[in-house]
Chains A and B, each alone.
Chain A
Amino acid sequence: MAAAARVFIRGAHATLSVPGAGKQSSARSALLKLSPGCSSRLKTQQRHAAHFTFQPEPVTTQYGPTQKMNLFQSITSALDNTLASDPTAVIFGEDVAFGGVFRCTVGLRDKYGKDRVFNTPLCEQGIVGFGIGAAVAGATAIAEIQFADYIFPAFDQIVNEAAKYRYRSGNLFDCGNLTIRAPWGCVGHGSLYHSQSPEAFFAHCPGIKIVIPRGPLEAKGLLLSCIADNNPCLFFEPKILYRAAVEQVPVDSYTIPLSQAEVLQEGSDVTLVAWGTQIHVLKEVANMAQEKLGVSCEVIDLRTILPWDTETICKEECFLNLEAPIARVCGYDTPFPHIFEPFYIPDKWKCFEAIKRMINY
């Protein structure tokens, strides 16, 4: 399953050692020595910077003392709180034992034991099926799918089993104790199988909840809500934010309500709705619209995709009062491309242009 590509992603963060080389540094520079005619800063060789600027939440004291954490650390913190307070909680999936390919579970196995944080064989349908069963038997089951792109073998277990467990049994049985986490969304170089946002495939499946945070503070509170929630939850973590997003995050447990969208800024002309990474794009777009067009934008983070907060998004009969058709700015109807990612993604210029066309409608 694209093992080579996964190594590539880790390679971006790790340093590669050259086997059989003498002094590492000289061997490395010898390998990378470019020919005289080749500028080391050729435009075609430069990889693009991120398409957004992460906008951190303001510091809050309402949940107790805080600590600087990036997104993956905020996930670890949520899992740490959970394992500490809930003796039935277990975390499992591929490679979670050593800390996970995105370091979300670092230190947890040593702290809580190998019966509580453990690797499973490489099998997503098994991971989710196992998680359902553990939840049915009363354990708090937290399953990790290594990339959301690989959730599809588990689609049957999620849609036909987890989502319907309570309903079909007349509430005799349920797997509400199950939470499934997966890294989600574009990352700059992920291509077809390390960039997907598959929430739409699950969005019309009654019985599950789908939650996508925009940063570390939101992520920890929303993940803890998912774990506490008595319904099976899918929690997608924007992988591009794992290291890039840093905030002051409470050390103790706290929850952020599910199925409640958040109005991040008020506005009177145009409503912008997004979730996950795209919130940071839209916040910038809102500023651009104000500065360049004098347009006042309301920005809403949906947060929970299912069941979604219809009340916040569309006030009763709001669609009668729109002055322009709704614009959807998203990727094209193609698989997620590799080298064409800068052209593919709904960046701030595309969103800005959509607002411009909308107000001139």
Chain B
Amino acid sequence: MFEDNPTNLKKESTASQLPQRRQLQHWHHVSSQAAHQQQPFDSSLEKPQFPGASAEFVDHLEFIQPNVISGIPVYRVMDRQGNIINASEDPQLSKETVLNFYQKMTLLNTMDRILYESQRQGRISFYMTNYGEEGTHIGSAAALESNDLVFGQYREAGVLMYRGFPLDLFMAQCYANADDLGKGRQMPVHYGSKDLNFVTISSPLATQIPQAVGAAYALKRENMNRAVICYFGEGAASEGDAHAGFNFSATLECPLIFFCRNNGYAISTPTNEQYRGDGIAARGPGYGMLSIRVDGNDVFAVYNATKEARRRAVAENQPFLIEAMTYRIGHHSTSDDSSAYRSVDEVNYWDKQDHPISRLRHYMTARDWWSEDDERSWRKQSRKTVMEAFERAERRLKPNPELLFTDVYEEMTPSLDKQRESMFRHIQQYKEHYPVDLYEK
């Protein structure tokens, strides 16, 4: 039904190495078969004839036990020291590609440090770092085509960085200056780029999930082999919109990847207060969706899973659910101090012992692709470019206040026009009370 494209993965497409994955595929096969072909009604059979489920009868009372002790296993390619465990799973990417992964992850990390600090110094109003989750961004972004549409939540800046969003535009959005593509309307980290197919971030959680499904449906009809990826955290997965999106994607057969960053916390709420089942991956089969859990701190595992999911989502017009297990090393945002609800030791473990950046670096150094000198000069260079962009962004004026009134509708309305005129008249009269000189005229 779908073509086998040669991939970087050694194994043949559907027949998986891991028994658990095969089990999930079998499960999907049975349930989808039942769903698509409602068995012809035949009351002479002793089999249940209910339209709602395809199953056998059972004559003893037994509740199905949710399996949370040994849940869905975590797929990984590298161990915590960056050594390949099973050589056939190594995607064997080129040195250039792997160096690019590393540089993008570290550049993101550097930008995060500087912008976090800039908020502490009162230069920008707000910031959210991506510490510890860089692998989920870069691994997944690298596995997509550049024209695949991305819907994110707010902790996916690395996806945008991988696609080539310039530092100047990250900074412009955070500073809300006149270069901001978003015209200064949103809080920092609410990035968007039409050119890079990254839909502008919004603050309400999980709202992007059913939207991603609708977009995937429209792209399916266009028949241009484009996929959609939808990122969200394990907290947002509790929203009704997540349930809505999962269910719609499966029933409407949409080519998209749901990518859940399970980083252990939703602000201060740990996962054992967020859900009681086996994480997010275990929900997929409930919707008839192929699902996998991966080590989110293993950039190759993330890459492999996303690549295969993308290939099949488009070829077979069905959704895939990837739950990337990771850890939020930083605070939720600059408005949060996570020492209030977790120990420094816990955070340090992840920072020092299981970090996507260091694991990839070990992989690189083991192949003599990256030396101490490379590391030093790259750190210095990336810090310099970030600081230069930062200084440029800081000096730039804010957008013209008339942009307060545009884009509410496609067209300007008479009443908004009146309000705009009224505002300018007012500012003209009371200008000493308004920061007019910070804005473009």
Contacts and interface: CB of A to CB of B under 8 A. Distances in A.
Contacts of A121: 244, 247-248, 251
Interface string B413-429: 11110000000000000
Given A125-B210, A167-B185, A207 B408 contact: yes
Contacts of A168: 182, 185-186, 190, 200, 202
Contact of B221 (A115, A172, A231, A310): A115
B372 interface: no
Contacts of B252: 118, 120, 130
A29 B215 CA distance: 54
Given A136-B215, A311-B414, A170 B182 contact: yes
Contacts of B49: none
A90 B221 contact: yes
A130 B192 contact: no
B271 interface: no
B414 A310 contact: yes
A290 interface: no
Contacts of B247: 121, 123, 126
A244 to B, nearest CB: 34
Contacts of B416: 206
A131 interface: yes
Scoring B240, B407, B413, B414 by chain A CB atoms within 10 A of each residue's CB, the highest score goes to B407
Contact of B194 (A134, A167, A173): A173
Interface in A100-137: 115, 118, 120-121, 123, 125-126, 128-137
Interface string A144-180: 0000000001001100110011111111111010000
A259 interface: yes
A26 B254 CA distance: 51
Contacts of A310: 414-415
Contacts of A176: 410
Nearest to B206: A129
A169 to B, nearest CB: 4
Contact of B213 (A133, A165, A173): A133
A166 B408 contact: yes
A163 B404 CA distance: 15
A198 interface: no
A163 to B, nearest CB: 9
Contacts of B409: 166, 207, 209, 231, 307
B402 to A, nearest CB: 13
B189 to A, nearest CB: 13
Contact of B415 (A132, A133, A139, A307): A307
Nearest to A128: B210
A161 B215 contact: no
Interface string B361-373: 0000000000000
A25 B218 CA distance: 50
A125 B244 contact: yes
A139 B200 contact: no
A164 B251 contact: no
Contacts of A167: 185, 407-408
B410 A166 contact: yes
Given A120-B252, A168-B182, A259-B413, A126 B244 contact: yes
Nearest to A157: B207
Interface string A199-232: 0000000110100000000000000000000110
B199 interface: yes
Contacts of A126: 210, 213, 241, 244-245, 247-248
A174 B408 CA distance: 10
B103 to A, nearest CB: 27
Interface in B115-157: 149, 151
Interface string B301-318: 000000000000000000
A173 B192 contact: yes
Contact of A132 (B181, B211, B221, B251): B211
Contacts of A170: 180-185, 192, 200, 407
B204 A161 contact: yes
Contacts of A88: 218, 221
A138 B210 CA distance: 16
B206 to A, nearest CB: 9
B232 interface: no
A355 interface: no
B217 interface: yes
A141 interface: yes
B320 to A, nearest CB: 17
A141 B252 CA distance: 15
Contacts of A131: 214
B209 interface: yes
Given A120-B252, A156-B204, A170-B182, A133 B214 contact: yes
Contact of A134 (B192, B207, B218, B414): B218
A259 to B, nearest CB: 7
B171 interface: no
A173 B152 CA distance: 14
A166 B248 CA distance: 25
A161 B410 contact: no
Interface in B386-419: 406-410, 413-416
A139 B218 CA distance: 6
B149 A130 contact: no
B219 interface: yes
A136 to B, nearest CB: 6
Interface string B75-110: 000000000000000000000000000000000000
Scoring B210, B217, B407 by chain A CB atoms within 10 A of each residue's CB, the highest score goes to B210
Contacts of A137: 149, 214-216, 218-219, 222
B212 A133 contact: yes
A307 B412 CA distance: 11
Given A125-B241, A136-B211, A167-B408, A172 B192 contact: yes
Nearest to B184: A170
Contacts of A169: 182, 192, 199-200
A167 B185 CA distance: 7
A135 B214 contact: yes
Nearest to A134: B214
Contacts of B31: none
Given A125-B240, A170-B182, A130 B210 contact: yes
Contacts of B217: 90, 130, 133-134, 139
Given A130-B213, A207-B409, A307-B415, A172 B193 contact: yes
B240 A153 contact: yes
Contacts of A138: 218, 222
A134 to B, nearest CB: 4
Contacts of B199: 136, 169, 173
A172 B409 CA distance: 13
A352 B217 CA distance: 52
5 contacts: A120-B251, A130-B252, A161-B207, A167-B408, A172-B194
Top 8 closest pairs, chain A to chain B, by CB:
A129-B210, A133-B214, A126-B244, A133-B211, A169-B200, A134-B214, A170-B183, A130-B214
Interface of A: 88, 90, 115, 118, 120-121, 123, 125-126, 128-139, 141, 153, 156-157, 160-161, 164-174, 176, 206-207, 209, 230-231, 259, 307, 310-311
